[in-house]
Structure 1
Amino acid sequence: MNFLPSCATVLLPSGERLHTTALIVFCLFFLFVTLAGFWAARWRRPPGGIATLEEWGLAGRTFGTWITWFLIGGDLYTAYTVIAVPAALYGTGAMGFFAVPYAVIAYPYMMLVLPRLWSVCHRHGYVTFADFVAGRYGNRWLTVAVALTGVLALMPYIALQLVGIRVVIAAMGIHGEWPLAAAFIILAAYTYSSGLRAPAVIAIVKDLMLYIMVLAAIIILPLKLGGYAHIFEVANQALATHTPAATTSLRQGQFLGYSTLAIGSAIALMLYPHTATAVLSASSANVVRRNAAMLPAYSFLLGLIALLGYVALAAGISIKDTSSAIPLLFLKMFPEWFSGFCLAAIAIGALVPAAIMSIAASNLFTRNLYGAIARRKMQPHEESNMAKIVSLVVKFGALAFILFLPTPYAIQMQLLGGIWMAQLFPAVVIGVFSRWFHPWALLAGWAAGMASGSAMAASLSLKSSVYPLHLPAWLGGTWAMYAAIPALLLNLAVSALLTLVLRAAGAAEGIDTTDAAAYVG
């Protein structure tokens, strides 16, 4: 007699199923990573403790190749990535696959730019990219602009990690906000005590679980569903019934939007504050280079994750909220215990980036917002104490965002986040190779890019970031592209033009306090 179905699920009064076995497995793994997060406070702890921003926010810059690899991978491949990328293919077909080429583009960019940034930041003790901008250009308001952009872009990103946890918990039959609040209180506690060491330890667990989950899914599910040829055939038929209709290949008119989404997202990805935090925790520039060479393994993983969107269509998953497609796929196709394992991997995948993001936001506030506005050099212990408190405020702010505002707001704000972060490219990326731009011109270009990019997204009611740019007929007419790209081009044009004007007028440029030797090699 088979007792598993009756033991694995319970019928709730509402008619929904409570997946008891999956929930138990989920809770056991969540408990394990919670204990690991608190233990991390003792891991590689220096004799003086972790009462400085260097130790709490960057783990003393001691991480080697493998830990950095797990940390950056855990940072970039979030719970919402695991849910949203296949959900995009589930809902919109081939257009959602842009996440794979953008990851491929990002790594050569990372190889070229980030080791150089690491060298300068390490030489001068910079904790954030805004610190670098402050040293490079000597302009307080440009520094504040860079820091403020990072904090604003991170808040909805942290909130989206909460969305990922909530979707997973709801799929198992648990509703209400208390499990979400409990998860984030635990996250806040161990991040406060352990700093960056906590997500570094948990990232190792998360990535191992994620690889097991994906490899099992791409081997077992196609065997159950008749192979990939059948999956693509059924997915194509299902996508044709969507509104608007979609396909598993790009349609005419989608190519520019697809390519600019990939390019613009890659530009923004390496400028996010949580990326900076993970990279600056590395022990050397060579560690960063080795990670740029190794991280394409995650691109391969992302491609496999993306295909799960088509697998869900072939498996007959039918739901309006596309974010629930993957959790429901696992619960339908796998045994309860393994479904619980997979859902735990997704939820743990939210804890790692959420912790790093909150640390990154607190570093920015402490060093570059409060520090720049107050104009007071804080003692190391004062910086770490303030950063810990701000990290709590950021987490609970993201929690309030989810509890009191509709979920689409977080998704829409995240669309803006990528557009905003791309506007830091001239000051940070070009700045690490050349100081040709005038700092006041960079500030004006940043403002122009932020305003135009936000206006383009707002004109689409924040439902898409692919904007139909109307140009004269002799320039090709209408071009549908990622709003970050035309905004960045305007940013660069304004920065270049004003640099020439301000130089001609003899305007003061600020002092570059960075060491020229740090840029060599």
Structure 2
Amino acid sequence: MRSDHLTEIIVFGALFALVSGMGFVAARWRRPGSMDSLDEWGLGGRGFGGWVTWFLIGGDLYTAYTFVAVPALVFGAGAAGFYAVPYTIIVYPLVFLVLIRLWSVSHVHGFVTPADFVRARFGSPTLALAVAVTGIVATMPYIALQLVGIEAVLKTMGVHGHWPIVIAFVILAAYTYQSGLRAPALIAFVKDVLIYLVIIVAVLYIPTRLGGWGDVFSAAEAKFAKTPAPGDGILLDGTNQLNYAMLALGSALALFLYPHSVTGVLASKNRDVIRRNMSALPAYSLVLGLIALLGFMAIAAGIAPVVTGGKADTNTVVPLLFDAMFPDWFAGVAFAAIGIGALVPAAIMSIAAANLFTRNIYKEYIRRDATARQEAAVSKVVSLVVKVGAVACILLLDPEFSIDLQLIGGVVILQTLPAVALGLVTRWFHRGALLAGWAAGLVAGLWMLYEIPNAAKRKEHFGGSAFKLSDLGLDTATTVYAGVLALAVNLAVAAAATLALRTAGIADGADATRPDDYLADEGDPKTGRMELTGST
């Protein structure tokens, strides 16, 4: 630890302690008579209004990893890193009506997870299990990557070793266990205020230190001209334009399939809250675009990433930029914004993963007669296990491998789209066909990811998500996001298998939902919790 970072460390520690205290106090915020149910502990009582939902979902989707990884990608690859901006713009119109329907049917039947809905819609606990396991697998590395953001900040401040991360997640585990979803919902207010403050100051102040925006873009253009690589530069080229569009589309389709995104939606108190938030949340995309520009600023400032174990950690470029450009006290505020930005999504993700295990594995296959109190107790314990697993990913694995796992997670979670998203608008697919499509999509997606090399990282496999169409026998240098191709395989198999199964007269599962369930709003009658019947 270097003494010249003392002010930054004190400010960072003070703000971190403040939000940790808020996490524990959150247990008394809107406190119900009892927290011993998933509705209260895991969904905050399903009563969050417009402002709370705005900060909760925003804090859930725009993570610490976003604030370091997006500009780091722009720093390393240029324009390709801006894919995150269009996808966060198009995602909300895409999911607007679908999420309203999910909230309504969940309100009527008491669904806590997307797998609960699939279980009832298609009468298949096996399909629900597939959705639940997929969600947990995709979420685990996502939680681990929040630690990458904190670790980048700590490296910049000269704090080395894993002990600060372990301490941070012990505190996170403690207040999440006690307060449930109320903790990240309350902390999200502080997190978003800090992020907006830091980014607005950064885009107004840092360019003036670097000679203006013209010099910033000129420096970035000069860098990519000196180190030419396919697809890298301040503009896209013919090889990566299609991949850019498909990556944006695939990321948009995947975003609200993640369990933590659904958790934020189901915690809303009515359909109008969701409408307002889906209309207003694109405002975050403005901030995200400004965050991405930090990558070009880092180039202009001559920032060199921290080298650890002989490898340059590009995730440190934004913290290093703040360290170089800001006064120590404000750099401490900026570092705290990134650190706190990890706590909110990590808490929600661990709660969502725990709810999936409890409702769709424990209650379905281990203890069907579990009470609401027992469900809450199991979820609390599993949320701790999930956090331990996330810390283990950082302690035992190369952080770059954790990033690769998250890349795989995006392709994996997309394979739940036919059952979850399309299931909200149609019952046409056969439950057996959906399982076949899910399996085919996973196999195709993992095969494509395995075949993608990365010369810069010296990897022969799992080197990225841009799959070369030439590997399919096409005479082109164009690449396409592997997740979209895998989803196309999934849908094709599901559609063909549905036709075959219906032609063969194979019985389908019973639909426990009714058309009116998808239009229900706050105050409408509830049918109660889903009964666990069926065997397929």
TM-score (norm 1): 0.95
Q: Deviations over 1:276-297 (max 9, x none)?
A: 0001000011111110111011
* Percent identity over paired residues: 53
The CA deviation at 1:375 is 5.9
Offset of residue 170 of structure 1: 1.2
Answer with 355-364 or 497-506: which moved more.
Answer: 497-506
What residue is the counterpart of 2:299 in the other structure? 313
Partner of 1:455: 447
Determine if the alignment matches structure 1 residue 247 to structure 2 residue 233: yes
**What's 2:142 paired with?**
157
Partner of 2:320 in structure 1? 328
**Is 1:371 aligned to 2:363, yes or no?**
yes
- The reply to whether residue 299 of structure 1 matches residue 298 of structure 2 is no
Q: Give the Cα–Cα distance (whole angstroms) in 1 for the partners of residues 227 and 120 of structure 2.
A: 52
1:374 is displaced (CA, Å) by 2.5
Q: Compute the displacement of 1:243 (Å).
A: 6.1
Distance 2:370 2:410 in 1: 32
Which residue number corresponds to residue 350 of structure 1? Answer: 342
The reply on whether 1:257 has 2:243 as its aligned counterpart is: yes
Aligned-partner SS, 1:467 = strand
Secondary structure class of the residue paired with 2:479: strand
Partner of 2:105: 120
What is the total number of aligned residue pairs between the two structures? 505
SS in 1 for 2:159: coil
**What are the within-5 Å matches in structure 2 for residues 464-475 of structure 1?**
464-470=464-470
* Preserved contact between residue 471 and residue 477 of structure 1 (Cα < 8 Å): no
> What residue number does 1:171 align with?
156
Distance 1:143 1:185, change over 3 A: same
Find the partner of 1:37 among 23, 30, 35. Answer: 23
Contact 1:111 1:289 in 2 (8 A): yes
Match for residue 386 of structure 1 among 375, 378, 382 = 378
Superposed CA deviations along residues 449-477 of structure 1, whole A, max 9, x for unmatched, are: 0111011111121120010134777x765
Residue 401 of structure 1, CA deviation:
1.0
Structure 1 residue identity aligned to 2:139: L
- Residue equivalent to 1:51: 36
SS at match of 1:481: strand
Tell whether the 8 Å contact from 2:120 to 2:513 is kept in structure 1 after alignment: yes
Distance of 2:48 and 2:185 partners within structure 1? 9
1:185 maps to 170
Q: Where does residue 7 of structure 2 map in the other structure?
A: 21
For 1:369 and 1:516, how far apart are their aligned partners in 2?
Answer: 27
Task: Label 1:398 to 1:513 Cα distance change in 2 as closer, same or farther (>3 A).
Answer: same
Corresponding residue number in structure 2 for 1:481: 480
* 1:503 equivalent in structure 2: 502
State the SS of the aligned residue for 1:50: coil
Distance of 1:479 and 1:255 partners within structure 2 = 8
1:284 alignment counterpart: 270
* 282-291 or 239-248, larger mean C-alpha shift: 239-248
Contact 1:18 1:173 in 2 (8 A): no
Secondary structure class of the residue paired with 1:507: coil
Q: Distance in 2 between matches of 1:38 and 1:253?
A: 50
CA contact (8 A) 2:240 2:478 kept: no
SS of match in other structure, 2:368:
coil
- Give the alignment's TM-score, normalised by structure 2: 0.92
Once the two structures are superposed, residues 2-53 of structure 1 have per-residue CA deviations (whole angstroms, 9 ceiling, x without a partner) of xxxxxxxxxx6xxx6650000000000000000000000000011x221111
Residue 514 of structure 2 aligns with an amino acid whose one-letter code is: D
Does the aligned pair in 2 maintain the 1:83–1:164 contact within 8 Å? yes
**SS of residue matched to 2:468:** strand
Letter in 1 for 2:489: L
Gaps of 5+ in 2: 306-311, 453-460, 521-536
Alpha-carbon deviation of 1:314?
Answer: 0.6
Residue identity opposite 2:402 in structure 1: A
State the secondary structure of the residue aligned to 1:509.
coil
Superposed CA RMSD: 1.4
Letter in 2 for 1:355: A
Q: 2:407: which partner in 1?
A: 415
Residue of structure 2 in register with 1:8 after alignment: none
- Residue type of the partner of 1:308? L
Question: Helix, strand or coil for the counterpart of 2:229?
Answer: coil
In structure 2, C-alpha distance between the alignment counterparts of 1:497 and 1:470, rounded to whole Å = 26
| Matching residue of 2:532 | none
Query: Which SS does the other structure have where 2:469 is aligned?
Result: strand
Which position in structure 2 is the counterpart of 1:399?
391
User: Do the aligned partners of 1:471 and 1:479 also contact (CA within 8 Å) in 2?
Assistant: no
**How far apart are the structure 1 equivalents of 2:287 and 2:18?**
24
Deviating above 6 A after TM superposition, structure 1's stretches of 4 or more consecutive aligned residues are none
